[in-house]
Amino acid sequence: MISPIINPATSILIAIGLYFTFIAKHSAKSYLINIWTTILLLVCIINPTTITILFTPILILTITGLQGLINTWYALFPKNPYARIFGLIPISIFVFNLLITNLSVFALSYRYSPQPLAAFSQDLNILLEKTDSNRILMVSKNEEDFYKTLERQGRAKVKNKFEDSEVILSKEAYQNVKIPVNYSIKRILVSNRKYNADRFYVLRRG
């Protein structure tokens, strides 16, 4: 979504930007912004998943609102440099606070957004933190190249046969490998995710 962009302060600037755009509706800039915003709003109404395309018109309207405020203040005091400077101070503080707030919200939104979390794998941390250094791994063909790196570092042994008393299977390997009847699950290593939380299966012989 666009929650890092839209907040009450930004909404005020957008409203001011819309106001200045409409009062100067005969300019090419206003025509372009109004037509563009209208078309993109219609697209978002038809398909809400495309809401991020509003980023550019929102940014333009925010800047237009800020520019309109500064120009209006300068028009009130065309020849008074002190009034001009003192008028810029609250606007500068407002913009600075807006920037800090948006950066903080963006950082939090990105950190806890489902999309980045789904793409981030905790498997390596889980494996290294919850198993000892003599770990024996069995992984799928797709994962083999990655875990061979651990083997080259001396932090694991990657095998494709059940010949040790204890072996750790990745989830993908567990689902696709035929497990001998004399091996049973000792424990399951899980992540903190709601879905697909089971990441490794520790099997013991006997």
Tens digit of each residue's pLDDT (9 = 90 or more) over 42-68: 888 888 877 778 888 888 888 888 888
The average pLDDT across 111-138 equals: 83
pLDDT at 199 (0 to 100): 94
pLDDT at 181 (0 to 100): 92
What is the average pLDDT value for the chain, to the nearest integer? 85
The average pLDDT across 166-184 equals: 93
Res. 87 pLDDT band, cuts 50 70 90: confident
The average pLDDT across 117-121 equals: 73
Residues 6+ apart with CB under 8 A from 193: 117, 122
Number of Cβ within 10 Å of residue 80's Cβ equals 12
Its pTM stands at 0.52
- The answer on pLDDT for 111 being more than 70 is no
Res. 5 pLDDT band, cuts 50 70 90: low
pLDDT at 2 (0 to 100): 46
Residues 6+ apart with CB under 8 A from 7: 98, 101, 102, 105
Measured between alpha carbons, how far is 161 from 159 in angstroms, rounded to an integer? Answer: 6
The average pLDDT across 84-93 equals: 84
Measured between alpha carbons, how far is 112 from 196 in angstroms, rounded to an integer? Answer: 17
- The answer on pLDDT for 1 being more than 50 is no
The average pLDDT across 74-78 equals: 85
Q: Where are the domains of the chain?
A: 8-118, 121-205
